[in-house]
Structure 1
């Protein structure tokens, strides 16, 4: 297994404008990190993309995954088509960065749209973009996130329905806790479909505390890997 560091780990500082792309890449180089995960929200334009490419080369860093935000649950067909085109454009960016994977989401539930309808839109959307990903030699990896793909069974169902070796799983260990699913059991159930993993830990805290709320109402806050509810020793 190859380990990488995600730029999302620096979000608290980035959100306060205390750090940026060059700070993250320099830090990884100083810590002798070889692989990094970059996100589209931190590379908003061509100028930043060129800066990223220059710094990656300078520090001899490899992009393990380029993570994007997308949502196929759009009531209008034209909006779903826009999502398809957006993913295709992001794949071009991932190619320029030399990424082997691109993290994707399913979508968010919306009022007035049934679960089955939303799920079919997600499947149809990925069926349309996967051939383009294959042309680029990039594997799309679906993260467990939200109500439509928060559980391992949901992730597996979507991946199997799309049916491509270029569309696989990106389990996030902490996110399974928010879906009230045991992270170890969830990852184990997806083991034959996994191409990329986000190791994240959360610890349960009393009601009224914590940044994250599980489906059951349990409250969690982020913590150092191995110090929360994710059984890393296994």
Structure 2
């Protein structure tokens, strides 16, 4: 493994166990501590106080319990990922969204986390040519992201958007937003798998966006043609192909080419495995970690 890359997990990789109550976040931290994983990213699941992942509705004692448990286990909490939607012409709604994400910046600070991903639009896509809508959304996206980045900078926190959600999942749209925000602490979380949702070739799009990367997500998908008979559990890409989350290394993404692009770039820092398939999550995390380690050594 390259010495400048730290390989760990997104908490979303354990989503099935966390959402069912089979594991708590403290259990996940202990599991990672026993594994060869080196860090944990927290993917917020909403603002419900009963959520298994810390959010702005949690009380201070619960937040401190997670921070202290991670510190004691030697599992750094490296990034906080949260949803947001800045596509609105309503000034009050936009101000409320900005205020909410600023609260998450404060939460990241309390957890000892110095990297944060916030979405910029809702996950849903739009039918047809959405370029005019993107142009319409861009000013409010840039305004909100810039204000949040400047606030985060006062706390030593780097913010980012991810190629996440069909509306801004394409590599060029992500880069356009990063350049328009134009703040030194505003970057991108590069999810190597999500590019296939808009039918881009991951190894090409990953290489294009790595110069702006704050964190990299390693992810894999099974990919089938639009006319394939696939059954339940699949969703469609923008162009109609069938997609389903896979154990890292078992799917159809050319991860060897992707990892080679990462190693040949100037990227150094945190790489998080994000599993979202149907397989048992602990088995998927164990095998995905082994496959990622092998790729980082041999690609």
TM-score interval (norm. to shorter): over 0.9
| Residues 41-89 of structure 1: CA deviation (Å, up to 9, x unaligned) | 3113024312201211221221111111111113421111111111111
In structure 1, the partner of 2:91 is 77
Contact 1:119 1:148 in 2 (8 A): no
| Greater than 4 Å deviation, 4+ residue runs | none
2:39 paired with 1:39 = no
- Cα shift at 1:92: 0.9
| Farther off after superposition, 189-198 or 199-208 | 199-208
In structure 2, the partner of 1:8 is 12
- Cα shift at 1:32: 4.1
Give the structure, 1 or 2, with the largest relative contact order (CA under 8 Å, sep 6 or more). 2
Give unpaired runs (5+ residues) of structure 2.
46-52, 127-131, 258-299
Which residue of 175, 183, 190 corresponds with 2:202? 183
Give the alignment of 1:74-153 within 5 angstroms. Answer: 74-108=88-122, 114-153=133-172
2:262 paired with 1:230 = no
- Cα shift at 1:34: 2.7
Q: For the structure 1 residues 97 and 229, does the alpha-carbon distance in structure 2 shift closer, same or farther, using more than 3 Å as the test?
A: same
In structure 1, the partner of 2:184 is 165
Q: TM-score, normalised by structure 2?
A: 0.74
CA distance in 1, matches of 2:234, 2:14: 17
| Residues 200-222 of structure 1: CA deviation (Å, up to 9, x unaligned) | 10011334434321001111111
Paired residue total:
233
| Farther off after superposition, 81-90 or 220-229 | 220-229
2:62 paired with 1:48 = yes
| Residues 80-106 of structure 1: CA deviation (Å, up to 9, x unaligned) | 111111111101111111212101112
CA distance in 2, matches of 1:199, 1:127: 27
The SS at the match of 1:114 is: helix
Q: TM-score, normalised by structure 1?
A: 0.93
Contact 2:158 2:187 in 1 (8 A): yes
CA distance in 2, matches of 1:63, 1:23: 14
2:31 paired with 1:27 = yes
- Cα shift at 1:110: 8.4
Aligned-CA RMSD value: 1.8
Q: For the structure 1 residues 207 and 107, does the alpha-carbon distance in structure 2 shift closer, same or farther, using more than 3 Å as the test?
A: farther
In structure 2, the partner of 1:202 is 221
The SS at the match of 1:95 is: helix
| Farther off after superposition, 35-44 or 84-93 | 35-44
Give unpaired runs (5+ residues) of structure 1.
none
